Structure 1
Amino acid sequence: MTHTPPDFPRDTAAVREATDRLLVSAGKLDDEAIAEPSLLPGWTRGHVLAHLARNADALSNLLTWARTDVRTPMYASDTARDADIERDADRPLADHVKDLQESAARFDAAAGALPDGRWAYRVEMRNGVTERADRLALRRLAEIELHHIDLGVGYTLDRLPAFFTEAYLDFLAAVKFAGHRDLPALELVTPDGSRRRTGRTDGDAAPVVVTGAAADLVGWLTGRADGGGLDTAGSPLPGVPPL
């Protein structure tokens, strides 16, 4: 059957729950562990946590833009974004935890303040990408869930909530990689028989059919797994461009 993506709820309860799980994992670390490498090349765990806090504020900026119709950039600039992460990466664990809590609360408040009539408003993210306000909660949830994995603290793909992997696979297929010229045409098939088309649409070749659990497909498409658990019926597994 063809998969029809559901609307992701505008309620940020899932974001709050994911943040709580992240804070539990972070709370088990110490200042020494924060300075150790994460699973992201060139970043320590402190870099990952600092990025997550600043991303919450960046998405809060976009929600404010959607509410007020006054352009509020996600970040002042890419240079400023990178500098803020570097500035905050080496902080003690307690400072990271406090920042994560406070920035999460600001995001939640910004989402709660957005009137119903403004959820369809489009804002501009980094690199000129436009996005609807009603998809920013999913964007934030993905940041938390995937970077929780990147901390390298035992939170793995198989622990991702099923509703998130389904919703994010919808997003990756229908938005992120739809028509992407650097990804061949794909048909993603999950065990329930759902099918999602993505990748290039300008050729006549049949799509590569990639079958696997939603979590495994998300892991492969986001660079968190090598696709070893996926089935392509003997075809080579295509390379995926970076997010």
Structure 2
Amino acid sequence: MRRTFDDTLSWSETGTELLLDTAAGWGEEQYLAPSGLPGWTRKHLVAHVAANADALSNLVRWAATGEKTPMYSSPQQRNADIEAGSRKPAAELAAWLSSSAERLAAGVAGLNDDQWNARVVTAQGRTVPATEIPWLRSREVCVHAVDLASGIAFTDLPAGFMTALADDIVAKRGSAAGPAVVLAATDTGDHWELPGEGEPVTVDGPLADVAAYLAGRPHALTTPDGSSAPALPAWL
């Protein structure tokens, strides 16, 4: 694992600042513009990120008190909260985005060493130590800062985060159906192998494009013969 707990704390803070700064001052017109995610406006996306902060605060509370507090009451409720948030006025949505991030940061800052080692359960049903919470938040804020479709790109994210993201996605994709791919980051020398169907396809390019490709975002990666990198199934 090429990430430390301190790394994830730093990336969570960096991504949060990047996302908040990008959306700062937006009115209805900017919030109603399409995001980089199909079918979602920026309002949907911001509601999702704000709801995620509240959900991760539930895990912080679980770690702090020992009282089982799931991220979401149900997948249906999670989706309903995002849809409801997408209908909030711009100012109210912006306030939720900011206040939820502040509550999560305060909760994280209040955990002691023993509480960080407490076991909690993610929305995907994985039992993990609370030390995973900053990494879960890092993925949300960093990737979705790009998804706001307001000029932020993967090249604006910390290189260490992108490497860790690629590691994480490759580990998750290892058990999923899809094409076999060998990936190489030409600017860092890192390599990843995705097991899958057929002969492995070699794909290389800058780390930012590799991370974007693995995350299912727009990229410029091609195979040695110039054809597009093979499509991958969803990773989350």
- Compute the TM-score of the two structures, normalised by the length of structure 1: 0.84
1:72/1:194 CA distance change after superposition, 3 Å: same
1:6/1:21 CA distance change after superposition, 3 Å: closer
Moved more, 57-66 or 109-118: 109-118
C-alpha distance after superposition, 1:184-235 (max 9, x if no partner): 44333222322233444xx8x764433222211111111111x433445678
The 8 Å contact of residues 34 and 45 in structure 1, kept in 2 or not, is answered as yes
The 8 Å contact of residues 10 and 134 in structure 1, kept in 2 or not, is answered as no
Give the structure 1 partner of residue 158 of structure 2.
161
Structure 1, unpaired ranges of 5+: none
The answer on 1:98 being equivalent to 2:95 is yes
Where do 1:149-188 residues align within 5 Å?
A: 149-174=146-171, 176-177=172-173, 179-188=174-183
1:217 to 210, 215, 218: 210
Separation of aligned partners in 1, 2:53 and 2:89: 19
Separation of aligned partners in 2, 1:153 and 1:75: 29
How far is 1:143 from its partner?
0.8
The answer on 1:32 being equivalent to 2:1 is no
Separation of aligned partners in 2, 1:149 and 1:142: 11
Give the structure 1 partner of residue 13 of structure 2.
16
Give the structure 2 partner of residue 193 of structure 1.
189
How far is 1:39 from its partner?
2.0
Amino acid at match of 1:189: A
1:187/1:119 CA distance change after superposition, 3 Å: farther
The answer on 1:114 being equivalent to 2:107 is no
How far is 1:8 from its partner?
4.2
The 8 Å contact of residues 35 and 90 in structure 1, kept in 2 or not, is answered as no
Partner SS for 1:123: strand
Structural RMSD (CA)? 2.5
How far is 1:158 from its partner?
2.0
Partner SS for 2:34: coil
How far is 1:24 from its partner?
1.9
Partner SS for 1:63: helix
Amino acid at match of 1:168: L
How far is 1:135 from its partner?
2.3
Amino acid at match of 1:180: S
Give the structure 2 partner of residue 54 of structure 1.
51
Count of residues in Structure 1 that have an aligned counterpart in Structure 2: 234
Amino acid at match of 1:224: R
Separation of aligned partners in 1, 2:203 and 2:127: 28
1:157/1:17 CA distance change after superposition, 3 Å: closer
Partner SS for 2:217: coil
1:239/1:130 CA distance change after superposition, 3 Å: farther
The share of aligned pairs that are identical, in percent, is: 37
How far is 1:121 from its partner?
3.8
1:146 to 139, 143, 147: 143
The 8 Å contact of residues 61 and 72 in structure 1, kept in 2 or not, is answered as yes
The 8 Å contact of residues 10 and 135 in structure 1, kept in 2 or not, is answered as no
